[in-house]
Structure 1
Amino acid sequence: MAIGVGTIGLFTTLGAIFYAGSLLGLNSMDSLFIAAALSISSTAVIVKILEEMGRIKSESTILVLGILIVEDVVAVILISSLQSIALVGSVSIESIVVVIIVAIGLIVGTFTIGTRVITPLIDRVAAAEHREILLLSVLGVCFGYALLANIVGLSVAIGAFLAGVLVAESKSSEVSKLLASPIKDMFVAIFFISVGALMDVSQLQNYIVLSIALIILAITMKFSGNMLGNFIFRQQRTKGIRSAFTLAAPRGEFSIVIIKTGVDIGAVSAFLFPMIGVISIVTAFLTPFMIKASDKITPMLEKKNV
């Protein structure tokens, strides 16, 4: 379900923004990169907000998290493809197939071998009741898996996520989460501060109208695309609406990475980098309001069904 709904929502958004970017005066490469960036929802923002709202274990959240995993894998493929298009002028089908096979292999290996080897080791460390050693072990699994993902050509974010899956399967998952939480918050802050320090917003006033248009279009198309996917795969209406509202707004880490990649190789205009930063901030701010909007709409639908 997550693969189907997530793919439909992502590529519907990508196609619409690419076409709209061309109409708004962007060149083809700028339109392609900004479309890819705005088609990926922010895992970090969504998970943080859902945790703070106490909804991380709800039924619709399970679907949202599954879609976010799919989008992270697709983001890695998009980055590889966009680099190939910008540098060579064509897409290497072989490289895309390799990325997909490697991603599937790493995920399957995590749920089979990883849960039988690494998870019991975490429990053994936890049994010693030395919290400092447990924290170091959890961080070691995180960085180790991130390094492994990077070596095989995937995103470090996917590796870190799978490391979190292994920790969550252990009996000491709650303790590990509490111990790692301050470090997680610190790294999130470092990421956004370092990215912000790279942005030159002096010319941003020239692109305010474009930014607003892209924000409205990105939210509308992501919501519509996910609703279409939920309809095609016959998800419960209220569940589909909640997940579509949650995924509609936030853009973040992968959006920034995609545009930064394009700027670094000279494929896109430099103004896109500060613009995607502003879009990420605005959409992250809108996300809680989108989630609360779904709370008002779903009860109305349930009454109609009754």
Structure 2
Amino acid sequence: MHNASDMLIELGAIILALGILGRLAGRIGFSPIPLYLLAGLAFGKGGLIPLHASEEFVATGAEIGVVLLLLLLGLEYSASELVSNLKTQYPSGAVDFALNALPGAAAAFLLGWGPVAAVALAGVTWISSSGVIAKVLGDLGRLGNRETPLILGVLVLEDLSMAVYLPILSALLAGVSLAGGTLTLLISLGTVGIVLYVALRHGRLISRAVSSDNAEMLLLVVLGLTLLVAGVAQELQVSAAVGAFLVGIALSGEVAEGARSLLTPLRDLFAAVFFVFFGLSTIPADIPPVLVPALILAVVTTFTKIATGWYAARRAGIRSAGRWRAGGTLVARGEFSIVIAGLAVGTESRIGPLATAYVLILVILGPPAARWTEPIARRFPRRNRPPAAVAPAPAQAAPVAETVDTADAAPSTP
């Protein structure tokens, strides 16, 4: 049993190290997320300075960090915007599933792990990290970009799909009957449906009930409501992150603005703790044996995620630069992939280290991919476009175009 002083010393060291790493990342213009993960590896089991006294507290803080990340993400958009995104983005969601889940399933079969492990690894490679991407979008100042709603639309579809995927996976792993698995799935879908209905139909009433001129009261009520809904959602086999996101969607207007300003510092603190905890849960010695298949899978699904974002942005009529930014931003995997791997490790023990190495690669690669995909794409020559003369011209302008150079004709224009 560790005493309070040991826990305070360890927590102080962790938070101080995070502050120093955050400053370093700011100096070099880089996202601090990979540095937080490497710090977790250094403090974890098999690392340079293993932690013991504060491990349980850090685990709880990590869960709160994911919840706050998704809450703040939900506060950025109203319920009507969510519905609009879902209506317009479902083809992109289907492409996302096909391009990114199938490589994971194929890898499991090639490794001889069987169909249940294939379903699990498909989820690991399919789901982007909403938490990491939300942090990256904020760090890069892209929350107001035109492609950002499309990115969030894809992420929302992925997060909500977990309400269907996780109960199915749990039933397969447990070997339950078809009736038992169906009941779990119905409970999950019903919970999501109820929360969405309340957010859409009664969001204003919720905002009025939560609203307060006292910043302290607003902080306590919003934070308490979010944790309560997240906990209930988790208990009902729905992701706590999805529950937190839906709470953010339900709040609107001045309440959303006030909650955003109050909770942002807490979000940043606990999000950093989440990334450290991810590193803490990884044993460095387990990574080398699975590094090659993890690298291959990471390379393949990096390109498939970029293709997903590019396709989604192209459907919305966004120009080339925004398409590449959307694709690069979606590369990171994180919290959901780790949850899925944790569920499946009892059936196929090798999936844990592989998923950990895979996610570690992409959670480190994700922020640079978000920043550099578009500049790198600019270096490649574009295919020749059809000349402008192909477009139909007014009848009276045709003779002029044949005899007069456009540069000479410009001054004579009235």
State TM-score, norm by structure 2: 0.63
Contact kept? 2:184, 2:237, Cα under 8 Å: no
- CA drift at 1:251: 0.3
What are the residue-to-residue correspondences of 1:23-172 with 2, within 5 Å? 23-88=110-175, 92-93=181-182, 95-113=184-202, 115-123=203-211, 125=212, 127=213, 130-167=214-251, 169-172=252-255
Q: Deviations over 1:134-156 (max 9, x none)?
A: 21122012112213423543111
- 1:216 matches 2:299: yes
> Do the aligned partners of 1:147 and 1:156 also contact (CA within 8 Å) in 2?
yes
Q: 1:102 to 1:173 in 2, by over 3 A?
A: closer
Code of the residue aligned with 2:193 in structure 1: it is I
Q: Which residue of 1 aligns with 2:263?
A: 180
The 10-residue stretch of structure 1 (208-217 or 39-48) with the greater mean CA deviation from structure 2: 208-217
**Identical amino acids, percent of aligned pairs:** 24
CA distance in 1, matches of 2:139, 2:101: 30
- Cα distance in 2 for partners of 1:64, 1:104 equals 23
* SS of residue in 1 equivalent to 2:197: helix
- In structure 1, the residue matched to 2:102 is 15
Q: Which has the larger radius of gyration?
A: 2
Q: Does 1:261 align with 2:261?
A: no
Say yes or no: does 1:276 pair with 2:355: yes
Change in CA separation of 1:184 and 1:274 when aligned onto 2, cut-off 3 Å = farther
Question: Would the alpha carbon gap of residues 144 and 245 (structure 1) be closer, same or farther in structure 2, given more than 3 Å must change?
Answer: same
Q: Amino acid of the residue matched to residue 355 of structure 2? A: I
Shift of residue 44, structure 1, vs aligned partner: 0.6
Provide the C-alpha distance between the structure 2 equivalents of 1:173 and 1:72, rounded to a whole number of angstroms. Answer: 21
CA-CA distance at 1:160 after TM superposition: 0.7
Cα distance in structure 1, aligned partners of 2:297 and 2:222: 39
**Which secondary structure state, in structure 1, belongs to the residue aligned with residue 253 of structure 2?**
coil
User: CA offsets per residue over residues 139-184 of structure 1, 9 Å max, x none?
Assistant: 01211221342354311111111122234x1314333223212322
How far apart, in 1, do the equivalents of 2:257 and 2:170 lie?
Answer: 40
Structure 2: gaps spanning 5 or more residues = 1-87, 389-414
Q: Which amino acid aligns with 1:186?
A: L
CA–CA distance in 2 between the matches of 1:275 and 1:173?
40
TM-score (norm 1): 0.83
Q: Residues 226, 179 of structure 1: CA spacing in aligned structure 2 closer, same or farther, 3 A cutoff? A: closer
Residues 79-122 of structure 1: per-residue CA shift (max 9 Å, x gap): 21112112227764564455334323321221211x12221133
Question: Cα–Cα, structure 1 residues 173 and 212, in superposed 2: closer, same or farther, change >3 Å?
Answer: same
1:55 maps to amino acid: R
Q: Aligned to 2:287, which of 163, 183, 204?
A: 204
CA contact (8 A) 2:233 2:243 kept: yes
Is the contact between residue 43 and residue 68 of structure 1 (CA under 8 Å) also seen in structure 2? yes
Gaps of 5+ in 1: none
Structure 1's 251 and 135: CA in aligned 2 closer, same or farther, altered over 3 A? same
Asked if 1:245 is matched to 2:320, the reply is no
Whole-angstrom distance in 1 between the partners of 2:253 and 2:94? 31
**Equivalent position SS for 2:142:** coil
8 Å Cα contact 1:138/1:176 also seen in 2: yes
Residues paired across the two proteins, number? 295
Output the CA distance in 2 between the equivalents of 1:199 and 1:34: 18
| Paired letter, 1:121 | A
**Whole-angstrom distance in 1 between the partners of 2:278 and 2:374:** 33
Paired residues of 1:204 and 1:274 also in contact (CA < 8 A) = yes
Question: What is the alpha-carbon distance in structure 1 between the residues aligned to residue 223 and residue 308 of structure 2?
Answer: 36
The one-letter code matched in structure 1 to 2:239 is S
Q: How far apart in 2 are the matches of 1:21 and 1:230? A: 31
